[in-house]
Amino acid sequence: MSAILQNLSPSISSSTSTFLGHNNLKNNIKLPNVSIPRKISVVVKCVASPSTEKTAYKTEVSRNGNLAKLQAGYLFPEIARRRAAHMAKYPDAQVISLGIGDTTEPIPEVITSAMSKRSYALSTVEGYSGYGAEQGEKQLRAAIASTYYADLGIDADDIFVSDGAKSDISRLQVLFGSNVTMAVQDPSYPAYVDSSVILGQTGEFQKDVEKYGNIEYMRCTPENGFFPDLSTVHRTDIIFFCSPNNPTGSTASREQLTKLVQFAKEKGSIIVFDSAYAMYISDDSPRSIFEIPGAKEVSIEVSSFSKYAGFTGVRLGWTAIPKELLYSDGFPVAKDFNRIVCTCFNGASNIAQAGGLACVSAEGIKAMHEVVGFYKENTDIIVDTFNSLGFKVYGGKNAPYVWVYFPGRSSWDVFSEILEKTHVVTTPGSGFGPGGEGFIRVRAFGHRENVLEACRRFKQLYK
Amino acid sequence: MSAILQNLSPSISSSTSTFLGHNNLKNNIKLPNVSIPRKISVVVKCVASPSTEKTAYKTEVSRNGNLAKLQAGYLFPEIARRRAAHMAKYPDAQVISLGIGDTTEPIPEVITSAMSKRSYALSTVEGYSGYGAEQGEKQLRAAIASTYYADLGIDADDIFVSDGAKSDISRLQVLFGSNVTMAVQDPSYPAYVDSSVILGQTGEFQKDVEKYGNIEYMRCTPENGFFPDLSTVHRTDIIFFCSPNNPTGSTASREQLTKLVQFAKEKGSIIVFDSAYAMYISDDSPRSIFEIPGAKEVSIEVSSFSKYAGFTGVRLGWTAIPKELLYSDGFPVAKDFNRIVCTCFNGASNIAQAGGLACVSAEGIKAMHEVVGFYKENTDIIVDTFNSLGFKVYGGKNAPYVWVYFPGRSSWDVFSEILEKTHVVTTPGSGFGPGGEGFIRVRAFGHRENVLEACRRFKQLYK
């Protein structure tokens, strides 16, 4: 290892966050060769003779310019970094995380016992299975179709089982390639934008407006009921749309989604509908984009067991692509996605799939509703807390996210204030796009006592 | 569903293979709009009045041109299709698969019991875990580093745990982007080339030479000991290299890999070294590219538990990227890969990771060696069989693949002959690139009685 790299090595650690620092450094300094300033620091620190220093070997491979466009860190690792720094500063603090949208409650036993059984069976000749179909096990595809899309015309063979929605979003970006344009809700789940940047669909980040060039940001605010004014939205090839929304917790109504489908149809766009929170809907808002007539000709739906069954670590989701969805040349989108899945993926873990099958059994569905119900009670507690403190609060009703408004303040400032003064980790709204500025997202995933304690602290801070 | 799509729907089924037929059809007919010929066939079949026919809605989104470049099907789904057709033709035949490189033997209990335990624990407050580090659990990263890279200078934080080598190969392609050039061994595992085509790194497929434009095919033949003549290889940014090789079963010696690393260093290339079969090495050939001095400055290594522990369905692998590997601007490749992993992936299943940790325990390593040893006995049986029949046979010694030469014959013809006359599924060598023409690959993964029975049938056919 060269001297330069030895000096660097503590920073390229298992912690994602430390990567970010370097990224920032490089972005700020804007030197063509990042090793130069570090070389100097080595000399200063080690008082080594410059003549004994070895210049690091560099390949002749150019860095992918799209990756260089990405800003700082992916939001959640950045929050993890700040949380870790806080814990280092206050080692005795009881830190409560209501930040990253991670589930906390145990997985119902009807589901884990199915996974446990499948694990054991892999040690037997009869129970062993190797490569499965890349698209997922037939029985699971059929069960997902009948559970979530009964009477909507989505069949088992329209379902592609995956290792989770985030992975599928990137596979969809690989499917579409670099020559498409895309729109996102602003604010929205950062993986849409970041994967678009990585695939080269965007221009550079424009610091003044905090947007990437060539992405259409569809502003979602309290004023428009968190549904974009489509009359001002420019046509794009792809429209990412998440409802119930992460981060705002708002849910589009049937009327709104009908407008969205009409808009896509008029413009010839494809909607990628993220329904990962659909089971949190309490009212009659659509749980699937395919409830909207004509949606099958313009939509893909991505979903996941993560927030229903606590599968954030188990990794299981799916993407539904109707046969009716065609490219401009008439070629079915599903056929190309099938090719992506066969070439770039080898199917979700068979053990996770056994869990998925248990999820959509009668008993599993009941158990998932209990998990969801528990988190929805948490949501109510959080909403009531901020309401009682006089804040304007959005979301929560149909989603595990509460979107709290701090007018005129910077999201990161509020995030830091809350962390510093209450030891509670939230998520700064601006991390989801410029439209999130002035908000923080409070997640409802948490043990009840932690949610109650966090709310007590919020009351203390903002009384 | 429109009439056209109703007619199409049986073809867009859960079977991958039927997609291929359509793909072929489109490639052969070369019509700008694939719906036209089908429309006619609907009229003919249904005797419907053309005036009542509905024209299918098409979006205005252009199909990704890179996907259109792909030829026919990904190799293994194509073999699955032919196997299924054979079984339909001979419903009573006892078909034996020595084709797709899928494992058949149960996973050792020390490993499945760890996964089973972890599954159950997810139902408890103490044992539950949600999102893990995207790069993998710290303990597993450390254990992989110490098990496979002890004394090679690869640390825990150089290891990115994945859901398998195939997924990681695609993530590496996303990392590199569309502006790199790449070389592959010819023949080689088709995912390298196909993922390169999908990312847009290649030109069109050139039917006359059966190669994609802009890919450097490094011919590996019996004449050069299955190691390319590097003096004739043009420089590329990326060099995919698999040893022990899939499909030829050959293993590069220390001397050969030293030459490869020197070549990469001279040219400023990055080697992506696929070591998924390293545990099959019996002699002193390097098990890792990082055994070669200087390799860390020019290499990435991709590996997997699939063929060691029967994890083809469980899905667990890893990629090692040394800190020393730098782009031409000095930026560490690992930092960008970390960003890919954080944005496009959410970590391997926690249950699979528990299995991985058991794999690299002392007992697990012993158990994996037993699994590998069993398959190596199969290899000997297959090698002896073809040797006794007078065939030239390669590979097998350090790999679970036997590469059998049928001079002057088409691989697909031999594949069909063997399937038709012995009901044994093999893999046609030409599916791995033009350099594989005239060969078939026989895999050693199989129950002993099936391997013995297949060999009896080979002896019957080729006596």
Q: B379: how many CB neighbours lie within 10 A of its CB?
A: 24
Chain B CB contacts of A115 under 8 Å are 119, 122, 351
Least CB–CB distance from B115: residue in A8, A119, A177: A119
Please, what sign has the CA dihedral across residues A258, A260, A266, A268? negative
* Per-residue pLDDT at B128: 98
Helix axes B165-176, A333-344, angle to 10 degrees: 110
- Residue matched to tokens 């299975």: A129
Could you please report the per-residue DSSP string of B225-241?
A: TTS--GGGPPP-SEEEE
CB contact under 8 A, A67 and B339: yes
State the burial class of residue A151 (Cβ atoms within 10 Å of its Cβ: 0-12, 13-18, 19+). Answer: exposed
Give the single-character DSSP code of A108. P
State the nearest Cα–Cα gap between A114 and chain B, in angstroms: 9
CB contact under 8 A, B329 and A32: yes
pLDDT in tens, chain B (463 residues): 333 333 333 333 333 333 333 333 333 333 333 333 333 333 333 344 444 456 899 999 999 999 999 987 678 878 988 999 999 999 999 999 999 889 999 999 999 999 999 999 999 999 999 999 999 999 999 999 999 999 999 999 999 999 999 999 999 999 999 999 999 999 999 999 999 999 999 999 999 999 999 999 999 999 999 999 999 999 999 999 999 999 999 999 999 999 999 999 999 999 999 999 999 999 999 999 999 999 999 999 999 999 999 999 999 999 999 999 999 999 999 999 999 999 999 999 999 999 999 999 999 999 999 999 999 999 999 999 999 999 999 999 999 999 999 999 999 999 999 999 999 999 999 999 999 999 999 999 999 999 999 999 999 999 9
* Per-residue pLDDT at A458: 98
- Residue matched to tokens 């229903």: A308
CB contact under 8 A, A268 and B60: yes
CB contact under 8 A, A108 and B123: yes
DSSP H helices in A268-326 = 306-309
Give the single-character DSSP code of A74. -
Chain B CB contacts of A58 under 8 Å are 268, 326-330
CB contact under 8 A, B310 and A130: yes
Q: Cα–Cα distances in Å, from B93 out to B86, B87, B432?
A: 9, 7, 28
Q: How far is it between the farthest Cα atoms of chain A?
A: 75
Rg (CA), chain A: 23
ipTM for the whole complex: 0.89
Least CB–CB distance from B343: residue in A198, A325, A344: A198
CB contact under 8 A, A22 and B66: no
* Per-residue pLDDT at A115: 98
Distance, CA of B326 to CA of A49 (rounded, Å): 24
Chain A CB contacts of B198 under 8 Å are 174, 339-340, 343-344
Least CB–CB distance from B336: residue in A67, A112, A332: A67
Q: Which are the contacts of A364, defined by CB distance < 8 A and separation ≥ 6?
A: A108, A110, A111, A309, A358
CB B3 within 8 A of CB B9: no
Least CB–CB distance from A131: residue in B155, B312, B335: B312
Among chain B residues, the shortest Cα distance to A106 is held by B123
Least CB–CB distance from B330: residue in A56, A64, A132: A56
Q: Which are the contacts of A146, defined by CB distance < 8 A and separation ≥ 6?
A: none
State the burial class of residue A52 (Cβ atoms within 10 Å of its Cβ: 0-12, 13-18, 19+). Answer: exposed
CB contact under 8 A, B122 and A107: yes
Among chain A residues, the shortest Cα distance to B127 is held by A106
CB contact under 8 A, B310 and A33: no
Distance, CA of A341 to CA of A328 (rounded, Å): 22
What pTM did the predictor assign?
Answer: 0.89
CB contact under 8 A, B1 and A323: yes
Q: Which residue, among A14, A196, A212, would best test binding to B if mutated, counting the most B CBs under 10 Å from its CB?
A: A14
Per DSSP bridges, beta strands A424-425 and A96-97 are parallel
- Residue matched to tokens 């050039």: B181
Residue closest to A237 by CA, chosen among A259, A216, A212, A262: A216
Least CB–CB distance from B270: residue in A61, A111, A177: A61
pLDDT in tens, chain A (463 residues): 343 333 333 333 333 333 333 333 333 333 333 333 333 333 333 344 444 456 899 999 999 999 999 987 668 878 988 999 999 999 999 999 999 889 999 999 999 999 999 999 999 999 999 999 999 999 999 999 999 999 999 999 999 999 999 999 999 999 999 999 999 999 999 999 999 999 999 999 999 999 999 999 999 999 999 999 999 999 999 999 999 999 999 999 999 999 999 999 999 999 999 999 999 999 999 999 999 999 999 999 999 999 999 999 999 999 999 999 999 999 999 999 999 999 999 999 999 999 999 999 999 999 999 999 999 999 999 999 999 999 999 999 999 999 999 999 999 999 999 999 999 999 999 999 999 999 999 999 999 999 999 999 999 999 9
> Structural domains in chain B?
3-65 (no CATH), 75-106+364-462 (3.90.1150.10), 109-363 (3.40.640.10)
Distance, CA of A191 to CA of A77 (rounded, Å): 12
Q: Which are the contacts of B311, defined by CB distance < 8 A and separation ≥ 6?
A: B103, B107, B164, B304, B305, B352, B355, B359
DSSP bridge pairs for A271: A239, A299
Distance, CA of B136 to CA of B164 (rounded, Å): 12
Task: Please give the sequence-ordered ranges of beta strands (E in DSSP) within A243-293, or none if there are none.
Answer: 270-274
Token duo for residue A48 = 């080594």
Rg (CA), chain B: 23
State the nearest Cα–Cα gap between B82 and chain A, in angstroms: 15
* Per-residue pLDDT at B350: 98
Q: Cα–Cα distances in Å, from A61 out to A67, A302, B329?
A: 14, 35, 9
Q: Which are the contacts of B86, defined by CB distance < 8 A and separation ≥ 6?
A: B93, B95, B419, B420, B423, B425
CB contact under 8 A, B9 and A65: no
Cis ω on the peptide bond leading into residue B428 (within 30° of 0)? no
Chain B CB contacts of A76 under 8 Å are 342
Token duo for residue A244 = 């119930």
Q: Which residues of B389-426 are buried (b: 16+ CB within 10 A; e: fewer)?
A: eebebbbbbbbbbbbbbbeeeebbebbebbbeebbbbb
Distance, CA of A331 to CA of B26 (rounded, Å): 9
Among chain B residues, the shortest Cα distance to A314 is held by B349
CB A5 within 8 A of CB A58: no
Give the single-character DSSP code of B462. H
State the nearest Cα–Cα gap between B462 and chain A, in angstroms: 30
Task: Please give the sequence-ordered ranges of beta strands (E in DSSP) within B116-194, or none if there are none.
Answer: 159-162, 182-186
State the burial class of residue B371 (Cβ atoms within 10 Å of its Cβ: 0-12, 13-18, 19+). Answer: buried
CB contact under 8 A, B313 and A177: no
CB contact under 8 A, A237 and B61: yes
